Amino acid sequence: MAGVALPQVLEAPIKGSSLWRDAARRLMRNPAAMFGLFLIGTFVFVAVFAPFISPYSPTEGTIIHRFLPPSGTHLLGTDLQGRDIFSRILWGARSSLWVSVLSVTIGLTLGVSFGAISGFLGGWVDFWMMRAVDIVLSLPGLLLTITIVLFLGPGLNTIALAIAIENVPIFARLVRSGILALKESDFVLAARSIGASQARILLQHVMPNALTPVIVQGTLALATAIVDAAGLGYLGFGPQDPATPEWGTMLTDTQRYLTSGAAFTALFPGIAIILAVLGFNLLGDGLREALDPRLKR
Amino acid sequence: MLKYIVRRLLLLIPILLGLSLFLVVFLHLLPGDPCSANLGEHSTPENLARCRTGLGLDRPIYQQYFDYMAGLLHGDLGVSATNKVSVTTEFAARFPATFELTVSAMFLAIGVGIPLGVAAAKRQYSLFDNFATVASLIGISIPIFFLGLLLQYLFGVWLHWLPTAGRYDLATYSYDGAGTNFLLWESLVINHNLAEFADVLRHLILPAVALGTIPLAVVARITRSAVLEVLSEDYVRTARAKGLTSKRIDDRHVLRNAMLPISTVIGLQTGLLLGGAVLTEQIFSWGGVGNWLFQAAVDKDFVVIQSGALILATIFVLVNLVVDIGYAYLNPRIRYS
């Protein structure tokens, strides 16, 4: 009887588990991460469907209806030009989503390529490429971003580019150190010794492991990008076209009216930023725990 | 140890060389220069040309770089194109403001963050731990300018408890140029004026809380996870088994070992704050380094941006060197050679 039971016991975990499936299962069991995913889902949904779900035009309002407090007709009230704040927040999600996704895509692509080349080639190429990374990293981040935006001009795309440049060295370092460690690891040696092909080792063993920290960092970088973009918008470098609402810019617009009993106009864009950022931070934390089995609770 | 410090300091030279080259090339590649920023769109080509010749911007870029570097080697960090004030003078006047703000913010971050993290770790998954975890997550998610505005509104506009801008009450006190510009020091130690000291302190509270919140949350998170890790070590169990008091275990075994990752984070955050408090300084009209370099970027003031970035990079490297030396003190197993 034992002879029958044994293979089943051995087979079950091997059959149903892989790095990704295990991680996904761990992630699903983490309520905080799931809440983060819910926030992100809402954020993306709102950004995509803003034109269909916003009750008013985000850009048109009448001055006589300015600074209306939150009510049934205007859920979150109106701003200094009588525009519906709720609609502007929904549309503002588009700006934040666009900047964060664009900046992380550019930063991640350039950074991962840079780091992978550096790590694979090694030697002098690696040395000089990493010194370049050191140099960019020694610069204060926000100041670098502000300088780039000031020289290239304001707008969502320049903001995204500036944030991307800040992200490149971070991703480059992460991938390089991953590859260096994995090149020497026992499981790569083991894979080689059982005769796995070079391509199989690279794709099945090295890259998935080298990319896991990148996925975590990428998620957290989306959060940072939203904060940075709002900060740049707050400083006045957001989209100059008033037809494109942006959360940071909305805060500046109403900041001067804090004393006039219209403080709520500044409160809601701020809360929107926090919720979106919190979503990516929660998911990032959850991914880190899920992807690194050693951190298991 | 000394050899290690000297070597680390020598490593600064190639970084600064590379950084200066990067900055000069990078800034010249971007569109615009101090003249176009100063004179505006409607200036005549003659005026622009005269301005560029005056600042030496019409020379080939390699010559500009070599002249700039020659100046640096003589300790000359250059002169602002906008107000003709030397970078050294301006930095010396503004650094004390940034320094006082950073130290207060980090004081808050360390003083509250570490106890919070330790308390959360010792009651893992308790109500308090969950509350602290959520609070610190919100802390790292809140944009600093929004927090600054909230604080200004709540404690300034609404409650009238604290001033919301500047470093001191302009109507009552004056600090005109003379002195160190370290106002806490100046008011207490040099002027012996408690009322003045209290005034400076009151101005410091809101910006320090705004700037310190993110580091506080980061420190609390890393402390919690570092303490949790150490608590599961065998030597902690051994210490408990041989009957040491729990206070002694905490002080001698847990905290000392957990301090390694915590001090890394503290060093990084301090380095970041010393150079990057742009938003906080902007919101609270704090005349520090962040405000100055922000204005330099607006004016496309090449020399100020270049020299300012070099100074900040140096500070960043030095702060991290101090942290690494701290490591050796905290952990006798680490010996630098």
Residues of A in contact with B293 (CB under 8 A): 143
Q: Looking at residue A206, what DSSP letter applies?
A: I
* B302 falls within a domain: yes
Find all residues with CB under 8 Å of A55, minimum gap 6, and list them.
A75, A84, A86, A87
B88-107 average pLDDT score = 91
Say if residue B208 is in the same domain as residue B294.
yes
Say if residue B183 is in the same domain as residue B58.
no
Return the pLDDT at A45: 95
Say if residue B129 is in the same domain as residue B185.
yes
Q: How many residues does chain A have?
A: 297
φ, ψ at A84 (rounded to 5°): -75, 115
Return the pLDDT at A2: 46
Cβ contact B275–A143 (<8 Å): yes
* B335 falls within a domain: no
Distance of CA B290 to the CA centre of its chain: 9
Give the global pTM: 0.85
Say if residue B248 is in the same domain as residue B291.
yes
What CA–CA distance (Å, rounded) separates A108 from A103?
Answer: 8
- Residues paired with A78 in a beta bridge: A84
Token representation of residue A79: 């701003």
* B147 falls within a domain: yes
Q: Which domain holds residue B168?
A: 90-330
- List the single residue in A with minimal CA-CA distance to B300: A151
Token representation of residue B55: 């600042």
What CA–CA distance (Å, rounded) separates A149 from B257?
Answer: 43
* B82 falls within a domain: no
Say if residue B45 is in the same domain as residue B141.
no
Q: Write the pLDDT tens digit of every residue in B181-221.
A: 888 887 887 778 888 888 888 999 999 999 999 999 999 99
B219 close to B267: Cβ distance less than 8 angstroms: no
Does ipTM come in above 0.85? Answer: no
* B142 falls within a domain: yes
Task: Give me the residue label for tokens 């420190």.
Answer: B219
* B181 falls within a domain: yes
B12-33 average pLDDT score = 84
What CA–CA distance (Å, rounded) separates A178 from A212?
Answer: 9
Mutate to test the interface with A, among B41, B82, B146, B157 (most CBs of A within 10 A): B146
Three-state SS letters, B261-316: HHHHHHHHHHHHHHHHCHHHHHHCCCCCHHHHHHHHHHCCCHHHHHHHHHHHHHHH
B142 close to B213: Cβ distance less than 8 angstroms: yes
B278-296 average pLDDT score = 89
Return the pLDDT at B315: 87
Mind telling me how many Å the CA of B298 is from chain A's nearest CA?
6
Residue A282: Cβ within 10 Å count = 26
* B337 falls within a domain: no
Choose the closest CB to A223 out of B18, B141, B149: B141
Say if residue B176 is in the same domain as residue B256.
yes
**pLDDT greater at residue A98 or residue B249:** A98
Cβ contact A235–B142 (<8 Å): no
Cβ contact B137–A273 (<8 Å): no
φ, ψ at B15 (rounded to 5°): -65, -45
Residues of B in contact with A270 (CB under 8 A): 143, 146, 149-150
Return the pLDDT at B108: 95
CA-to-CA dists, residue A28 to A177, B132, B218, angstroms: 29, 23, 25
Q: Is the pLDDT of residue B134 over 80?
A: yes
Say if residue B176 is in the same domain as residue B64.
no
- List the single residue in A with minimal CA-CA distance to B221: A285
Q: Is the pLDDT of residue B273 over 70?
A: yes
The answer, for A260 touching chain B at a CB cutoff of 8 Å, is no
Return the pLDDT at A16: 56
Say if residue B52 is in the same domain as residue B11.
yes
For chain B, give the mean pLDDT: 85
Return the pLDDT at A230: 92
Say if residue B102 is in the same domain as residue B59.
no
Domain stops at, among B73, B103, B129: B73
Say if residue B45 is in the same domain as residue B170.
no
The answer, for B32 touching chain A at a CB cutoff of 8 Å, is yes
Cβ contact B282–A139 (<8 Å): no
* B336 falls within a domain: no
What CA–CA distance (Å, rounded) separates A171 from A108?
Answer: 6
Say if residue B112 is in the same domain as residue B27.
no
Cβ contact B141–A231 (<8 Å): no
The answer, for A140 touching chain B at a CB cutoff of 8 Å, is yes
Note which residues in 188-247 of chain A have CB less than 8 A from chain B: 223, 227, 230-231, 234-235
Task: Give me the residue label for tokens 């990067």.
Answer: B22
Cβ contact A143–B152 (<8 Å): no
| DSSP line for B63-126 | HHHHHHHHHHHTT---B-TTT--BHHHHHHHHHHHHHHHHHHHHHHHHHHHHHHHHHHHHTTTS
Q: Is the pLDDT of residue B233 over 50?
A: yes
- Which residue ranges form the domains of chain A, and what is each CATH number? 76-295 (1.10.3720.10)
Q: Write the pLDDT tens digit of every residue in B32-87.
A: 788 877 777 677 888 888 888 878 788 888 888 888 888 888 888 888 888 888 99
Burial class from Cβ neighbours inside 10 Å (0-12, 13-18, 19+) for residue A97 reads buried
Looking at the 3D structure of chain B, how many domains does it have? 2
Please state which of the ranges A7-16, B19-28, B115-124 shows the lowest mean pLDDT.
Answer: A7-16
| CATH (domain of B171) | 1.10.3720.10
Q: Is the pLDDT of residue B2 over 90?
A: no
Domain stops at, among B21, B39, B73: B73
Per DSSP, the three-state class of A207 is helix
Note which residues in 221-240 of chain B have CB less than 8 A from chain A: none
Note which residues in 99-158 of chain B have CB less than 8 A from chain A: 137-138, 140-146, 149-150, 152-153, 157
Say if residue B33 is in the same domain as residue B64.
yes
Please state which of the ranges A196-205, B135-144, B311-320 shows the lowest mean pLDDT.
Answer: A196-205
Q: Which residues of chain A have pLDDT under 50?
A: 1-3, 5, 7, 9-13, 296-297
Domain stops at, among B73, B98, B117: B73
- List the single residue in B with minimal CA-CA distance to A224: B141
Q: Is the pLDDT of residue B335 over 50?
A: yes
The answer, for A146 touching chain B at a CB cutoff of 8 Å, is yes
